[in-house]
Amino acid sequence: MDTMLQSMRRSLYSFLKMNIKETKLNYSVVYPGRVSPQIHYKSIPEHVKCPPYYMTGKPSQQYSIDIKSEEEIARLRRTCKLAKSILNQCQELIKPGVTTDEIDKLVTQLSFDAGAYPSPLNYRKFPKSVCTSVNNCICHGIPDDRPLENGDIVNVDVTVYRENVHGDCSFTYMVGDVDASGKRLIEVSQQSLQVGLDHCGPGKPFSGIGKAIEEFLMTTEFSGVPAFTGHGIGSYFHGPPDIYHCRNDYPGMMSPGMVFTVEPAVSEGTSSLQILRDGWTAVTKDNSRSAQFEHTILITDDGYEALTV
């Protein structure tokens, strides 16, 4: 009964939100800007070891969930620590007037300086080194020449490849003075990630992560965006298991040595989206804002370890 009442409340909230004439937004609806030329592979420093797809854009396929060795886990810890360090350094640029292209340049340089390759670069032909998703952009935003504005929120998604493994993490930052709803959206998005992580551990079903996140979000005024999943990671950028952030029937149980990401996206409006003509940028259909947080985690003998903290 409680679940039914929560669902009715959310449906009523969505109906009112869609039908009340909207006043001035406290943020700007973002459209793609000018994208600077992609780095040519010949410009990559010689000391950087590149993933197999760096020239063709075509990654190899991973078909099964693998158990990492202790040696591979050690490499993943180091690479994930680097990814989070680069993500943290991006925060210094998050202020009005800075373009997302400048964030991309920073991520590129910090990666190369550390002997790492920025994993998104040319992955399935993605043109940049990092994803920057502002306001109504849910994920996979391509860095461009639009300056960040006071009141924006921006998700920065950093993945790097070093020592033959990838480390992946993201964080949603506030730009200047963000309104109360935007702050609340970010808070709930962080909480939804933690709710998902709390359902990780040996012997637990993969499907439990999404179930817990959806049930949590039903107690809030926000919506989960079910179209995007977490994923297995290691020597490959994306592979099984698929980590859904909504109710699902994905099979299988977690075992020690498995490594994957948890990365729920949360919208203050609709969960419906569209992919823009660039083939990457995902935006909400009603132009509502979205926030997302992500960790790469390792399943241990007695729980999990977040490798990107």
- Give the pLDDT score at 22: 45
Query: What is the DSSP code string of the chain?
Result: -HHHHHHHHHHHHHHHHHHSPP---SSPPP---PPPPPPPGGGS-TTSPPPTTTTT--PPP--S--PPPHHHHHHHHHHHHHHHHHHHHHGGG-STT-BHHHHHHHHHHHHHHTT-EETTTTGGG--SSSEEEETTEEE-PPP-SPBP-TT-EEEEEEEEEETTEEEEEEEEEE-SS--HHHHHHHHHHHHHHHHHHTT-STT-BTHHHHHHHHHHHTTSS-EE-TT--EEE-SSSSSEEEEE-SSS-----B--TT-EEEE--EEESS-S-EEE-TTS--EEETT---EEE-BEEEEEETTEEEETT-
| pTM for this predicted structure | 0.92
> pLDDT category, 67, cuts 50, 70, 90?
very high
pLDDT band at 25 (very low <50, low <70, confident <90, very high): confident
CATH T-level topology, domain 70-306: Creatine Amidinohydrolase (3.90.230)
Give residue 306's pLDDT: 98
Average pLDDT estimate for 12-18: 44
Instruction: Quote the tokens at residue 172.
Output: 């949603």
Other Cβ atoms less than 10 A from the Cβ of 225: the count is: 22
Residue 8, pLDDT > 50, answer no
Q: What is the overall mean pLDDT for the chain?
A: 94
**pLDDT tens profile 184-242:** 999 999 999 999 999 999 999 999 999 999 999 999 999 999 999 999 999 999 999 99
Write b or e for each residue in 144-173: b if 16 or more Cβ atoms lie within 10 A of its Cβ, otherwise e: bebebeebbbbbbbbbbbbbebbbbbbbbb
Q: Which pLDDT score, from 0 to 100, does residue 9 have? A: 46
Every domain of the chain and the residues it spans: 70-306
State how far the Cα of 108 lies from the Cα of 40, in Å rounded to an integer. 12
For the segment 133-152, the average pLDDT, to the nearest whole number, is 98
The per-residue pLDDT for 1 is 44
